[in-house]
Structure 1
Amino acid sequence: MTFNNVDELEQLLVRLHLVEPAQLDECLSRLGPTQRQPADLLQALESKHYLTSYQVGRLTRGETEGLLLGEFKLMYRNASGSFARVFRACSIKDGRMIGLKLLRQRWAGDPQTVAEFHREADLCIKLRHKNIVPIYDVASQGDYHYLTMEFVEGGNLRDFVNIRKTIAAAEVTRYAIDMAEGLEYALTQGLTHRDLKLTNVLMSTQGVAKLVDFGLAADIDISGAGRNDDVRRALEYAALESSTNAPANDPRTDLFFLGGICYELLTGKPPYPRTRDRAERRRLGRYSDVRRIRDVDPNIPPVIADIVERLMHINPDQRYQSPTEVLADLRRAASQLGDVPANGEGASQSAVTGEVATAETSLPTIMCIESRTKQQNILRDYLSKRGFRVLMLSDVERGLNRLRTNPPNGVVFMGESIGDATIQAFHEATRLGQTADFITLVVLSEQQASWTSQLDQTPTARVMVQPISLRDLRREIHLTFQRQKSSG
């Protein structure tokens, strides 16, 4: 659908609940007499963060269908695979953020795939465990088939490896316990994962590993002769099970790939090369010729290296036989490595810190308001490695609500990401910080430098202007904490 004039665009935006009438009026009032084209209005709405760049891109191309699915408007595309795409979506009823997994259109016309998607989602809805991302609902709207689930803010383990390269043994052990506990619980419900990999392990901002996409493999294989043709498995799973005479959906196959995740977290290298070549992914030697982890890095503690090597034994009879069995060894390893496994989200040190949590640890928590994934990862990695717990939020209003209800020790607003909402957010945070005792920093872009005169700085509310280094930001955070302590 293309828009002939601004009026047509206005009607659509309101009908799809993408913006409120008051927001439209505000942006229309800012347009000059020569700025009356749909593109002008879209630009104004994006600059005020009433529409996201994803929404504006779709609207500009006339792709309006599917922007609102049920009660959820699509905000950003978070991930994309050959089977489905994952979006961050927002409820038009209560404003809550959720994850929305949408079956790709190339599969939407295949009745068998659609039925399987709904069946798998219906099975997984019953899973309720601290280490599994919950599915709330599965639904259809025309040719669109989707499920809704918890939106996990902290990224996935692939992000961690890309940024941090390697992760300490104690921390890896803690995540392995989280994953194994999720697998153990799912098995009691009659389910195996069937697509365990770095990108299917999400990390909460509290540092808890959560499994996602049980049975909803992104690259699937229909079982061959002698097996139930309804069984769908990730290609790697099918290759490993058929080559080792293991039954389909063998829980021990999940354990092999759990070992592969730990291998890469510890060494920074995948146990076998990544490839799109399906023939190579079916080859048994790809999985049997894995270099021993202690040869890759002799400094990895034997207690965890032994567990990884047993998890990845090519003979399923020589692996751990159940998640429960490996959990016993993982917990012993955690004790030896000086770590205490998380008992829930509040018990675990933030995954982004890269440090071992203890009962005595009291790290300052910094909340960063930044919507760009790359910048989120850079900030998270840098600050966490330098003694901060990091809470990353993309939405300004969610951040301000957090300041009102459960404030961290400090908040950093990234002005280039927030845009026009920066000034109001800074003023509101400064006001709240006077009674809630947290510090406020805003980092303006070079283009926003003139806003400095509109921002009232105090000893605990500071303004920085790009270009600055991450070291400059860290130094200012420390100085502001010192001023806070002196004034208190």
Structure 2
Amino acid sequence: MAAGAEDSQIRRAVIERNLVTPDELAAADARRGGRNGAEAPLGQTLLELGYLTRTQLDRLVAGASDDSGSRSVQQIPGYQLIRKVGAGAMAVVYKAKQISLDRIVAIKVLPKRLSANTEFVDRFYKEGKAAAALSHNNIVQAIDVGEAGGFHYFVMEFVEGATVYDELAAGRLYEEKDALRIVRQIADALQHAHERGIIHRDVKPKNIMLTKERVAKLADMGLARATTDVDAALAEAGRAYGTPYYISPEQIRGEVSIDHRADIYSLGSTFYHMMTGKVPFEGPTPSAVMHKHLREALAPPDHLNTKLTAGCAAMIEMMMAKKREERYQSCRELIEDIDRLMRGEQLQYAQHGLDQSTLADLARGAPAPMAPPPRTTTDTSSTTIMLGVGLAVSIVLNIILIVVLMG
């Protein structure tokens, strides 16, 4: 078969079978055109970019159907496949229609190669159950979970839009008020989960979806865990679960007693990235990054983005305190400070001692000067006691000296 005809066949097949997204196909076309003026074969380019497997490509070239493609979703009763919208190492996500209710949904399918792995399957179903236990406008809603044709699937609300990660990857540096609105919505979603005894454990830009109306949706409950699940906590003890750039220190240490404050740290790391364009800590390896989360001081966000208000910088630093006792103790506290900052008022928890002119600047949206370092205060009662003790010692020494001299 001629190269041009084969490319056309592969292009038509990957579109019809929803094996790649339009963006993936566009990326492949862009790469093909950049090779010394000669176009590389489409199939080979898709393979090199990781959008197709060798088996998929061989079957496409041979004109055969691909078992791991669209057929997996078409076997799920009650749903009609529309197109593939994303893929990762752990799952493929499709846009589909729920026939009974005539509505658009997203279907996450566990690859068949992982179906024999009980750990992955259990985690997949736990994600569905954790999401189903929550009902909040800022959390991607779970619809169904099950198995059909040997494939495990999870049906959820379809969100038309991008993720915070997509926007950061495109070079976006968020305006403070836009970021505050997004973070507030996710904090509200997390508060809802925390009140129901669920911690997310993987808050990061990729897991925050944004609709066209800028409604933020917390997604991917794959690492979520109930705070009452002691068996799971003990089984995971000593192992780090999370994403290195955004993970909390206690998750890195694999502590059994991880609680909702780990999510506050990860949201703070995400907030930091949104406001500075950089992750909080960088390193050549995941372990190097995690070591910095444990040991290295955080570069103040307003040093990297001088437009950042002192109040916003203070919130981020408090969210990312290495000791969880020094963070916001709940997302409700965080929300209160966000609301105060948005109104141009003094923060309740991340104190800065801002004067009235600074508050007025905040209300107008102008950048505030960096807050002075916190002053060290001394307990007056302790000072009084110490002075009293010193005076008593001095008197005793003087009496002893007089006695010695008289003797």
- 1-structure distance, mates of 2:301, 2:277: 11
| 1:314 aligned partner | 322
Computing the radius of gyration over CA atoms, which structure comes out larger, 1 or 2?
Answer: 2
User: In the TM superposition, what are the counterparts of 1:11-410 in structure 2 within 5 Å?
Assistant: 43=12, 54=20, 60=63, 62-64=65-67, 65-68=71-74, 69-93=76-100, 95-216=102-223, 227-229=233-235, 233-234=241-242, 236=244, 240-241=249-250, 247-273=256-282, 277-285=285-293, 288-336=296-344
| 1:458 aligned partner | none
- Quote how far apart the aligned CAs of 1:240 are: 2.0
- 2-structure distance, mates of 1:204, 1:263: 21
The number of aligned residues is 292
| 1:369 aligned partner | none
- Quote how far apart the aligned CAs of 1:113 are: 2.4
- Quote how far apart the aligned CAs of 1:288 are: 3.6
Where 2:138 maps in the other structure, the secondary structure is coil
Mark the runs of 5 or more structure 1 residues left unpaired by the alignment.
Answer: 1-34, 218-222, 338-488
1:136-169 CA distance string (max 9 Å, x none): 1111113311101111111100122233521111
- 2-structure distance, mates of 1:111, 1:175: 36
CA contact (8 A) 2:126 2:222 kept: no
- 2-structure distance, mates of 1:179, 1:247: 25
- 2-structure distance, mates of 1:67, 1:55: 15
Distance 1:151 1:306, change over 3 A: same
Distance 1:336 1:104, change over 3 A: farther
- 1-structure distance, mates of 2:300, 2:255: 23
- 2-structure distance, mates of 1:336, 1:70: 53
1:45-94 CA distance string (max 9 Å, x none): 96xxx775749997755204414133334433333333223222233555
- 1-structure distance, mates of 2:304, 2:132: 40
Distance 1:152 1:186, change over 3 A: same
1:309-340 CA distance string (max 9 Å, x none): 11011111111111111111011112229xxx
CA contact (8 A) 1:255 1:311 kept: yes
- Quote how far apart the aligned CAs of 1:106 are: 3.6
- 1-structure distance, mates of 2:243, 2:185: 25
RMSD: 3.6
User: Which has the larger displacement, 64-73 or 324-333?
Assistant: 64-73
Distance 1:77 1:303, change over 3 A: same
Distance 1:309 1:100, change over 3 A: same
- Quote how far apart the aligned CAs of 1:281 are: 4.7
* TM-score (normalised: structure 1): 0.53
1:380-429 CA distance string (max 9 Å, x none): xxxxxxxxxxxxxxxxxxxxxxxxxxxxxxxxxxxxxxxxxxxxxxxxxx
CA contact (8 A) 1:311 1:320 kept: yes
User: Which has the larger displacement, 70-79 or 113-122?
Assistant: 70-79
CA contact (8 A) 2:241 2:254 kept: no
Distance 1:284 1:42, change over 3 A: closer
Aligned amino acid, residue 329 of structure 2: Q
Where 2:72 maps in the other structure, the secondary structure is coil
CA contact (8 A) 1:272 1:287 kept: no
Distance 1:55 1:240, change over 3 A: closer
- Quote how far apart the aligned CAs of 1:245 are: 8.1
CA contact (8 A) 2:73 2:109 kept: no
Distance 1:287 1:270, change over 3 A: farther
- Quote how far apart the aligned CAs of 1:179 are: 0.6
CA contact (8 A) 2:261 2:330 kept: yes
* TM-score (normalised: structure 2): 0.62
CA contact (8 A) 1:215 1:233 kept: no
